[in-house]
Structure 1
Amino acid sequence: MESRIQRLFLIALLLGTTCVGQLTYAQDDSSESEDDELEQIITPDIKRRTIKEDDLDSENFEMGAFFGLLSIEDFGTNEVQGITFAYHITEDFFVEAAYGISKTEKTSYELLSGGVELLTDDERDLNYYNLSLGYNFLHGQVFISDKWTFNNHFYILAGAGNTDFAAKDYFTTNIGAGLRFYTTDWMALDISMRGHSFKHELFGESKTVTNLESRIGLSLFF
């Protein structure tokens, strides 16, 4: 009787072990099948595009030349040209020195009165120099095409200097704003507006004037 019970117990144990093994094998097959399906879904066949980005030169000095128009109050709008030299203190702040020259036209009074000459030819020459502190902001990029992308930023500046006009020197303050567009990692195109304010007494009474200047320039970094 005991041996029969032992046989039945062994048979039941073997059957239980076999069922557990088959269940485990079925679960492993199901897990592997799910992993394969997830891998096909999560891993698409994407061809990645290689992009080469040029870094701007780390040099902090900038030298440029500009050409534009200078609207001189009472003396018309005249051509102006000059040079600039800047030192970039940080990525955002810079100091700029500028020198410009122009030659004024006759006033409307001189043109209407006939032979009246308020200034000689030499006195009509105007030149100025100033030193300004600038701030760069809104750094961004311009996308010309899929392959050409250029860095750019806007800037504002303010400073003071001197204006030599009509054989006299005038203390001058200046403000301005512009857009600097980097054509390469060492060259930039500069488009800006400036205002030069000073006080003179050319017409017998003290008068504060603001000469507006619009210009385009080219700068090199070294």
Structure 2
Amino acid sequence: GESFYNPYIPRVLEELTGKGLITESKGARVIEGRKPPLIVVKRDGGFNYASTDLAALWYRLNVEMAEWIIYVTDVGQQQHFHSVFSAARMAGWLPDQKEEKYPKASHVGFGFVLGADGSRFRTRSSDGAVRLVDLLDEAKSQSLAQLIKRLTENGQIAKWTDEELDKTSEAIGYGAVKYADLKNNRLTDYKFSYEQMLSDKGNTAVYLQYAHARICSIIQKSNKDVEELKMVSILSYL
């Protein structure tokens, strides 16, 4: 956790100060080099994310002897980490960015997950980010409700056991969330919508799963060997 690196912050800042990298600006202590400057000590003397991340980077490079550190966060933190990496290069912890040498540090950003209103996706009480386990549980729950409704309308609900309903709704719900996330460009923001994810029309996991189920049904009714059909398909393509 972040608190683990707190004892290392003073010595890291002392090293950076000794190298002439930290200067005072409007009551705070900063590292110049990029705009805006990287604030490492606030006006009230307290530390912040920058001081913690510098201490963590120093520890990983000097104690854990990491060769390549990859930070995976949302794109909103890209500038922050580039400033941290810039400070580390000025301190001599990392080689020049143009050099293909180790050790090195990289930032991999991903787009924001947005709510229906276009703002950051939060819990209903807006007290923090939504946990993945809660998203998956809700997707499964809504998938189960839709499945029961569809089977009831078709008069097929009596043919399904509780275990089959549970297993199928889990596959559909989990698959819907995974596919909705992976089909987007990594850097692109997207709106999280159960209605769109669980739709059986369009570019969704549910549509693909139903298409796969129909294909399997056709193959089963054909009484043909699957490998034989694969070969016929390949030959037809060629």
TM-score where L is the length of structure 2: 0.21
Higher RCO structure (Cα 8 Å, ≥6 apart): 1
TM-score where L is the length of structure 1: 0.22
From the two aligned structures, give the one with the greater strand fraction: 1
